Chain A
Amino acid sequence: MNRFTVNHCVTHNGEDVVDFVKGKLGFSNKVLFIGTVGMDTISLYYPYMLNGKASVDYKFLIENRPFVADSLIKIGKLHQSFLAGQLGDACVFKEIKIIADDGATTAGRSAVNAVSPWLEAKGYSDIVIDSTGMSRGTSFPIIKQAVEAGLKFGINVHLLNAADSMLIIDYKPESDDRAEWMHGFQGNMDSDRMDDALKLWVPQLSEEKVQATSTMYKKLFPVAEVCPILPFPSQNPRRGDNILFEYQDALTQEWGSSLLNIIYAHESNPLDVYRSVSTLHGIREKVFQETGETPVTILSPAGWRIGSLGMLLAAIELNLPVLYVETLGYTSHSTIPADVILPNPDLKWHIWLTGDIYKPN
């Protein structure tokens, strides 16, 4: 199969990504670029970098949520007109509904429906999914969809991501109160056959998400084991400890887990999360094969996005279910900048998902 595996995953990071994007993607025959545009300035980074390359078709999703501060909506519009001005006729914007009128999450389904005709179009040599600024509920399903399209049509699929530790615009997300299976990542969960499965839950812990994480636990209950992932090493070395402090009651009392179950994974390296999850899942599969029981590893991405990419890779390769809580909206006290501030991210990643590079020799 011409796609990544845990033992062979081609990636670039830092300035190598810039070289790759300008050197390889900029000169590809025909590129389909799928990104998002909204309040996150950082989402302008890659499209701006590729600006001027005639071989690129740009498609941007605009995530519509019911409750977003006016200032953030205005900033989003500012970014949209900036991109339209820079990229001209080569770009298309498509609005998708993240939350239905009755409060149900429709992010993944809306995104997949929007992206489907783009992926079906013929003639592309490369598909680029820029998940920078894209929410997990949107990016996970369309990345999986792109991987399937890449394998079907034998084309290169790339995943780009950039992150900046310094936020230009200050905002606070508000979580929904429902835990949902990520669209396309449910596997056999909730079927009668899985009723007796021994669930290992691997939530990514992050700041101010205790309630949302507990909502997920409630949906999964009963859970055989909880192995949370904490960011370490991290830019702030105390970050993991601070998060752990927030979750102490939930972790040890409500979820019945212990400090020995914690997985530490590099804050800015998605492959660390990917390898940890793969190893854990592999060991469990082996052990429970002997006992005749059905093990299942459930992933829950939240907070630090680079870590979530590792979860995504593991979920695609190992067909793992993903449970999450969607963001309903954002509040903000930021003022609207007069002009677009071009981002300068300190983390950049490129992951080559499918393509010739994985062709067996």
Chain B
Amino acid sequence: MQNPFKKRATEFIEDSASFVALTSPGPLKLFFEGDSTVLFDRLVTVIGTPGSGKTTLARLMDIDTLFTLFKLLDSNAENAKNLKNALVGYDIIRDGKPVFLSYRLPSSSNLRDIWELPYSETTRTNLLRSFIQAKAVLGWLRRLEKAEVNIAEIRIIVKEGCETQAHLLNVVDTLDFRHRARSVEEEILRVITSLLPPREEELSEKVSNLRFDAFEVIESFSMPEISEQADSKLLLKPLLIIDDGHELHPNQFEDLTLWLKNRDMKIARWLMTRVDAISHEDFRKALVEAENNKTTPGTTLGRDHIFKIIQCERKDRKTFRNIAKDIAKQYIQQMPSFNRKGITTLSQCLSEDSIAISKPDLQNLQNLVNQLIAEMRLPEYQIKKIRDSIPSQLPSDLVLAVYRILLNREKKRSPQADIFGITGESIEEQMLIEPTETEADDDREISKTKAGLIRGAEIQLLHEYGRPFFFTFERLADASSSNIEQFINLADALVDGLETKLLRGKTVRLDAREQHRFLTDRAIKTINDWDFPYSDATKKLIYFISEKCKARTMEANASLNDGANAFGIPQGEMDNLQSEFPMLASLLHFALAYNALTIKEYYECKNKTWCLFVLGGLPCIQYGLTLNQGGFCEGHLADLVGAIGQ
């Protein structure tokens, strides 16, 4: 594999060994951290946007991947060891053996199609359940067959007290059981895919043959160990992963959830979905509980059902930066051309040194600052105080830009001073405004607050003089909206640039300007290529919000420090969204699903409750806005509706 970044998603990597080599244990921690047993004894609804790693997780649980992992351990592969250790820690591998037998069932069109059949709801529900059970049994046995297990040697362990049902399904003879599952699957598939389905009366004659209640009886699969000791047994608990649950009809989704919540079921079951299939209340509850629950982040604990949010919140930058670093390392290590040059990480190829604006531009900026000082007629000591408050190690252009912001703040403050000259907006206070979002890495001499202001000055220089802003590995990771696929897509743009340098025999390193250019070009191209439903209107909406945010960011006194990247409306206006503006509601479903936007509801600010529409990483790059959250422009739902021309 020459350049794995081109594959964008690990699900496009067919070979299990390559998949293992590229899979980072980092995202697993987010998912399995805490008491992982709850993920296997009740229904788990896994929520995440496309590219957040849902399918990769499902692939990792595949028995084929786990067996490959064991094989790679013999060859001393470092990543295989790390992965194995992580999986042992989460009890997915026990005593050197896999514990689960997983099968991923994509919802795709067939499950949804059952809803369209001209039958009563009961018939459709029964067809859906039988179809899922037949597919699951076939899928589990197929996975074992691929792992070279002789199907005839597999014994299905039946739940206590279910022997009669097991007998009816002929579970004792695995080959016969598979044959039965196959005939049910094919018969239902024939009904679904025929141009005109049979009438319900005709179907009812076959209904007894189409019933297949396997989940009521199956507890586990037992088989001889594949390698080594002939007498050793492998006992696997079946795990069903229903992927893309949002493609089901809402009633089907609800019914499926209700059915799979049944605690009598002994199989493990995950229902993976995009956020739009979940009711607002459930999702909000999951988010709130995820934020409050520190031991098992992203988990909403319930007796029979839990929600698991797979994508970490953008606020939690450090976690995602570490994940991104780990992924980039795995990917770079698969590129021999880089290895030969001793390159093992992406970050080592990305310069962290900023590039100052040109001398004429610097002079121009200096003139503007001088002009401002002259206009303000401040006493010398005050000017000195402002000047001295700026961290000394900043480059000269940035010093001037920060200086200009502080002078403008002072200018704005002066006329409003009360009779005692106290406004609550002194320079010290200005520099110590409560930061909207803290950066653990912006440290030491420059306080966290100052970092926001300096970033604001950097962004102003970007817009005025084209000074590169989107560079360094950290900003690359931040721009990925905590989405692994988006990170790989953006990183690919940089890796392309590095490969070109390598071919030309140049130093394999990108300076700030090159990084900024590659990332901006890629963000613009990706947005232009957006082809999801309502993408045209989404682009209009994003443009509208960006222009508003840009105006706030470019305010002379940078009142929001590093500016805005969100549009806030009073929370109450969201209540009428679905009924009054259905198109905007549909648009938001897709905009959220594809990381164009995120919505932060019930955000408290200025004694009001807001709903924020926060721009995703790609629009922030395209329109030159901060990647940090918190700053927003105020407005109304009607503004957004007007922006898309509904």
**Which residue on A lies nearest to B182, using beta carbons?**
A192
Q: Please, what's the 1-or-0 string for B581-606, where 1 marks a CB less than 8 Å from any CB in chain A? A: 00100100010011000000000000
The smallest beta-carbon distance between A153 and chain B, in angstroms, is 15
The answer to the question of A156 belonging to the interface, with a C-beta cut-off of 8 Å to chain B, is no
Query: How far is B581's CA from A291's CA once the two chains are assembled, in angstroms?
Result: 58
Stretch at the interface among A27-35, A175-183, A352-360: A175-183
Residues of A within 8 A of B135 (CB): 192
Q: What is the 8 Å Cβ interface bit string for chain B, positions 497-531, against chain A (1 contact, 0 not)?
A: 00000000000000000000000000000000111
8 contacts between A and B (CB under 8 A): A141-B195, A144-B195, A174-B534, A177-B593, A192-B182, A195-B142, A253-B7, A254-B7
Are the CB atoms of B533 and A190 closer together than 8 Å?
no
Interface segment, B86-94, B108-116, B325-333, B411-419? B108-116
In the complex, what residues of B have CB within 8 A of residue A113's CB? Answer: 196
Pairwise interchain contact A211-B186, C-beta atoms closer than 8 A: no
Does B533 lie within 8 Å of A192, measured CB to CB?
no
Say yes or no: A211-B189 contact (C-beta < 8 A), given A145-B195, A192-B182.
Answer: no
On whether A67 and B583 interact (CB within 8 A), knowing A174-B533, A195-B142, A219-B108, the answer reads yes
Q: Does A66 contact B (CB under 8 A)?
A: yes
| Pairwise interchain contact A177-B249, C-beta atoms closer than 8 A | no
Closest A residue to B530 using CB positions: A211
Verify A254–B6 contact, CB threshold 8 A.
yes
The residue in B106, B194, B196, B594 that gathers the most chain A C-beta atoms within 10 A of its C-beta is B196
A227 to B220, CA, bound (A): 42
B139 contacts partner chain A, Cβ-Cβ < 8 Å: yes
Whole-angstrom distance between the alpha carbons of A211 and B526 in the complex?
A: 10
B residues near A (Cβ < 8 Å) are: 3, 6-9, 11-12, 14, 106, 108-110, 112-113, 115-116, 135, 138-139, 142, 181-182, 185-186, 189, 193-196, 247, 249-250, 529-537, 583, 586, 590, 593-594
A104-B247 in contact (CB<8A):
yes
Q: Is the CB of A192 within 8 A of B142?
A: yes
Residues of B contacting A51 with CB < 8 Å?
A: none
Measured CA separation A144–B195 after assembly (Å): 9
* A178-B109, A208-B531, A210-B529 known; A102+B249 contact, CB < 8 A: yes
Given contacts A102-B250, A177-B533, A254-B6, contact A191 B195 (CB under 8 A): no
- A interface, size bucket: 35 or more
Q: Determine the residue in chain A with the shortest Cβ distance to B138.
A: A192
Q: Which of A148-201 contact B (CB under 8 A)?
A: 148, 172, 174-178, 180-181, 183-184, 186-188, 190-193, 195
Q: Determine which of B8, B14, B142 lies in contact with A222 in the assembled complex, contact meaning CB atoms within 8 Å.
A: B14
Contact B590 A177 (CB under 8 A): yes
Interface class of chain B by DSSP: helix
The 3 closest A-B pairs by CB, nearest first: A253-B6, A211-B531, A192-B138
Give complex CA distance A339, B163 in Å. 74
Determine whether the beta carbon of B536 is less than 8 Å from that of A331. yes
Evaluate whether A103 and B196 lie within 8 angstroms (CB atoms) in the complex, with A181-B109, A191-B189, A249-B6 already known. no
B201 to chain A, nearest CB (A): 17
CB distance from B162 to the nearest CB of A (A): 24
Contact partner of B533 (CB less than 8 A), chosen from A103, A145, A254, is A103
B12 contacts A254, C-beta separation under 8 Å: yes
Known A66-B586, A192-B142, A219-B106; 7 more pairs at CB < 8 Å: A144-B195, A174-B536, A184-B193, A188-B189, A208-B531, A253-B3, A331-B536
Check A193/B182 contact, CB under 8 A, given A141-B195, A180-B109, A184-B193.
Answer: yes
Point out the residue from A67, A209, A331 that lies within 8 Å of B531, measured CB to CB.
A209
Determine if A105 is an interface residue (Cβ-Cβ < 8 Å).
yes
| Cβ–Cβ < 8 Å partners of B11 in chain A | 218, 221
> Does A56 touch B at the CB level, under 8 Å?
no
Say yes or no for A55: interface residue by CB 8 A criterion. no
Give every chain B residue within 8 A of A221 (Cβ-Cβ): 11-12, 14
CB distance from A196 to the nearest CB of B (A): 9
Given contacts A102-B249, A105-B109, A190-B108, contact A174 B195 (CB under 8 A): no
Asked if A74 is an interface residue, CB under 8 A from chain B, the answer is no
Contact B534 A67 (CB under 8 A): yes
Question: Is A190 a contact of B116 with CB atoms below 8 Å?
Answer: no
Q: Which residue of chain A lies nearest to B536 when distances are taken between CB atoms in the complex?
A: A331
